[in-house]
Structure 1
Amino acid sequence: MWAYMFALGMLMGVVAAIAHAPLAALAVGISTLFISVAIHEAGHYMAARRGGMTVLFMRLFVFELAPRRRGWACRVKRYAHRVPVGLVMALPNLATPWRPVFIAFALGGVVANTFQLACLAIALALTHDAYARMLLGVACCVTAMLLANVIPFKAGMESDGLLALRWWRHPPDPRAYPGMRALARMVSGTAIADMPPADAQALKGMSAMHAVWYAVKADQQRGEWAAAAAQLDAWKAAIPAAKPLRSALSDLTEQVRGEIAFAAAISQRDAALLPDKRALRAAGWGNPGLAPRCRAVVAWLDGDINAVIVATIEAMALADDCTDRSLKESERLIGEALAATPLEPAAP
């Protein structure tokens, strides 16, 4: 990345010298950076989709984009820990060999930037005035970015070239990635309550917060509301003390808190315990069905089973729009468990 930033600085200097406008130089430089990163990540995304991977989200600077079956969801998200300026989070298909998929996924961004560079070369060949130097500067920036990604090295994270080389020369055994396998099985449509024991253990072993999340969702899908609500103390204990890790797990932390509040409202027959609007917004990015599910609880407390069914169908529709196929099954199981729960608590 240092080479790319150096070339970007040279580009800004060239533009400033041509146009005598530092602001124009800054605009061209920032635009080049953003467009090049966007093209790079789009290459990773297309390679992932072509390889049958499930893309959970993309990150471009402070923007996160989650693919939906109908369009995209977008948000601005800042983290306290260090994150790449561009990122595609994708999980492999368990039914296909991982080696060719990960090689193509790793090199997808490089291929996209190579195509971008070819277009710049054509434009440069057709330009004969002073602005050809600006195109040359842009091409240098893209070349620097391409080389910084394709050269095998590790500086915090593996470069695309190193990742592709590792999967080509020494492909790891997929069994060496139990957490990835478990998540891949889940997003393919397996509900938490139906996970095989080995995958369930792998999910719980990813972090203390993942263990609480697994327990809460499994209890909910079985209709064990009191057990899910009782995870509140475990949730508090699972919040990481280190700020970078707390930042990395912030979405999961908010989701688990919202689910515990949801279960507590059912267990204690008290709608006031449901997540508030702020909590629903915080948890809704990866859990869009929670809001209509909360409306289902209000209807259930009012004895309106038809409204419970309508809200459950809405929650399932929102979940079905996500690439994580387990969400719809989870909403179905939770909705059925809620409808089957008697309004009057069982006698002790």
Structure 2
Amino acid sequence: MLFRGIHRLLLVLQWIIGAAGFFLPALILGESIDVGLQPFSAMFMAFILGVLSLCVHEGGHYLGARYAGMTVLSVRVLAVELQPLQHGWKLRWSRHAKGQPLGGYVMAVHASQQPMRQAMLVFTLAGPVLNLFVAGVCLALSSLFIGEFAALLLALGVCNLSTGLANLIPTVSPGRVSDGAGFLAWLSKPDEQGPALANARLLALTVAGTQAEDLPEVDLEQLSAEPLPASLTALGFRLYARQNLADWGAAVALGNELQALLAAPPAALRQSMVLLSIVRAELTFSRAMLECDARELNDFLFHAPIDWYAPSFRPRCLALRAALAGDTERSAHFVQQAADLAANSQDRSQRLREQRLAGYIQALLTASADSPARPDPAPTAAVPAASN
């Protein structure tokens, strides 16, 4: 009871600091910069400075992750989402989804061969620390100037100070754990081999290049025992493992397990919609491989979330459609496109995975050319995996 009371006080304090980070800059700008339409113009400028402070905060997390040797998978600021690639970046405008932090986030994975705790401590603290550093610089420089520029620096300093301090207050609310709470959790030396971090360990191995069939079974079992989205993630790993081995019948059979997971509460399903659509799409691909029938691989299967999170899926399906139609040239074109997209992903397991699937598609194409009858999908399991 005492802990709950303290936590409520911390939430109130966090809200007060956050509100001050908007209203104080608006007051400073309103008193010093007159562009008309007051107080709305001052509030708009304060909002812009708040967005800049948020960019500084997420930029701090990004720099901290890179310094700690982590792989950054995604960066989001408001509705702008960026995805680092092996070569370059890609960007999209996407609306806020259920369960995501409203302001922004950086998703990063620790190096699988290194301890998780040290990297996470640096990663978690880097965001607010950069805010406080920028705040100090802006507040110091504001004393060296006069007029509107000084007011702008002062307001930006206050925004960054508010953002940094508010995020350092240790609070936990639905869908959000503050940096302060996360830092204290990692400072307490959690069991890095315990079930609570099974998902982080599996993701780190996958990003490092480990194929799904080589992932530790004990971690997969721990993940499967958890509610959505963790159990759905485990199902996705198992599906990938069967696809990698061309065990299309076993892959399709996982659809029964998916149906059981769909009995979860609606709120959990809403938070897992993207992952659910990817798993369903891969099940459809597996069924097409098993039955040598691409009729289910229609254009309704392809949509923006899959193109964003699994960009090689669409060209791979188009390659299979072309292969089953006997179009060698188009199939080769789409296979190469899928391979290029996978090779540019920060998830290093995707390159070998797409090479294997390309080999299975090529086997269907070869069998179609050798025989007028439909090829039996069983021989695809004998196709050797391409080397990394």
Same-fold status (TM-score > 0.5): yes
Aligned residue in 1 for 2:96: 78
What is the distance in 2 between the residues matched to 1:347 and 1:69?
34
- Indicate conservation of the 8 Å contact 2:207/2:347, yes or no: yes
- Give the structure 2 partner of residue 183 of structure 1: 203
% identity of equivalent residues = 29
SS of the residue corresponding to residue 210 of structure 2 reads coil
Counterpart residue type for residue 344 of structure 2: D
After superposition, the Cα gap between the structure-2 partners of 1:196 and 1:312, relative to the gap in structure 1 and judged at 3 Å, is farther
Paired residues for 1:238-317 under 5 Å:
238-239=261-262, 241-277=264-300, 279-305=302-328, 307-317=330-340
Q: Choose 222-231 or 98-107, whichever is displaced more.
A: 222-231
**Mapped pair 1:12 → 2:35:** no
Question: Residue 346 of structure 1 aligns to which amino acid in structure 2?
Answer: D
Compared CA separation, residues 46 and 347, structure 1 to 2 (3 A):
closer
Cα distance in 2 between the residues matched to 1:328 and 1:219? 16
Q: Is the 8 A contact 1:43 1:108 kept in 2?
A: yes
**2:384 alignment partner in structure 1:** none
1:224–1:308 distance in 2 versus 1, CA, 3 Å? farther
AA in 2 matched with 1:104: V
Q: 2:246 aligns with which of 223, 231, 234?
A: 223
Residue identity opposite 1:179 in structure 2: N
CA contact (8 A) 1:187 1:325 kept: yes
Matches within 5 A, 1:42-81: 42-75=59-92, 76-81=94-99
Amino acid at match of 2:21: A
- TM score, norm. by length of structure 2: 0.81
Change (3 A) 1:52 1:295: same
Whole-Å separation in 1 of the counterparts to 2:273 and 2:355: 26
- SS of 2:334's partner is helix
Q: CA deviation at 1:261?
A: 1.6
RMSD, aligned α-carbons: 2.5
Cα deviations across residues 62-82 of structure 1 (Å, max 9, x unaligned)?
222111122222221421335
* Counterparts in 2 of 1:301 and 1:213: CA distance versus 1, 3 Å: same
Residue aligned with 1:229, SS: helix
Matched, 1:209 2:232: yes
Aligned residues between the structures: 347
Deviation at 1:35, TM superposition (A): 0.7
Does residue 104 (structure 1) correspond to residue 122 (structure 2)? The answer is yes
Q: Which residue is 1:145 aligned to?
A: 163
Deviations 1:144-184 (A, max 9, x none): 2111122344445433233333433x211210222211111
Question: Paired residue for 1:33, among 24, 42, 50?
Answer: 50
Judge conservation of contact 1:192–1:214 (CA < 8 Å) in 2. yes
SS of alignment partner, residue 65 of structure 1 = strand
Compared CA separation, residues 114 and 266, structure 1 to 2 (3 A): same
Residue 200 to residue 242, structure 1, CA distance change in 2 (3 Å)? closer
Is the CA contact (8 Å cut-off) linking 1:258 and 1:280 kept in structure 2? no
User: Which range moves more in the overlay, 128-137 or 260-269?
Assistant: 128-137
Given that residues 280 and 290 in structure 1 are in contact (C-alpha distance below 8 angstroms), is that contact kept between their aligned partners in structure 2? no
| Stretch deviating more after TM superposition (53-62 or 10-19) | 10-19
Q: Is the 8 A contact 1:7 1:140 kept in 2?
A: yes
Q: Is the 8 A contact 1:64 1:74 kept in 2?
A: yes
- Distance apart, 1:4 and its partner CA: 1.6
Larger RCO: 1 or 2 (CA < 8 Å, sep 6+): 1
Instruction: Mark the CA change 1:182 to 1:267 in structure 2 (over 3 Å): closer, same or farther.
Output: same
Q: Which residue of 2 aligns with 1:232?
A: 255
Q: Does structure 2 retain, via aligned residues, the 8 Å contact 1:293–1:312?
A: yes
| Of 194, 207, 212, the match for 1:192 | 212
Structure 1 stretch displaced more, 71-80 or 197-206: 197-206
Question: Letter of the aligned partner of 2:289 in structure 1?
Answer: I
Check conservation: 2:96, 2:102, Cα contact below 8 A: no
Mapped contact 1:80–1:243 kept (Cα < 8 A)? no
Q: Kindly indicate whether the alpha-carbon contact (under 8 Å) linking 1:209 and 1:239 is maintained by their aligned counterparts in 2.
A: no
| Structure 2: stretches of 5+ with no match in the other structure | 1-13, 369-373, 379-388
Deviation at 1:288, TM superposition (A): 0.8
Structure 2 CA distance, aligned partners of 1:276 and 1:91?
Answer: 33
Structure 1 pair 15–327 and aligned structure 2 pair: CA distance change class (3 A): same
| SS class of match (1:70) | coil
Q: Is the 8 A contact 1:289 1:315 kept in 2?
A: yes
1:304 deviation in Å? 4.3
- What does residue range 309-328 of structure 1 map to in structure 2 within 5 Å? 309-328=332-351
TM-score by length of 1: 0.89
How far is the alpha carbon of 1:309 from its aligned partner? 4.1
Shift of residue 84, structure 1, vs aligned partner: 4.0
Report the 3-state secondary structure (helix = DSSP H, G, I; strand = E; otherwise coil) of the residue aligned with 1:174: coil
8 Å CA contact 1:228–1:260 kept in 2: the answer is yes
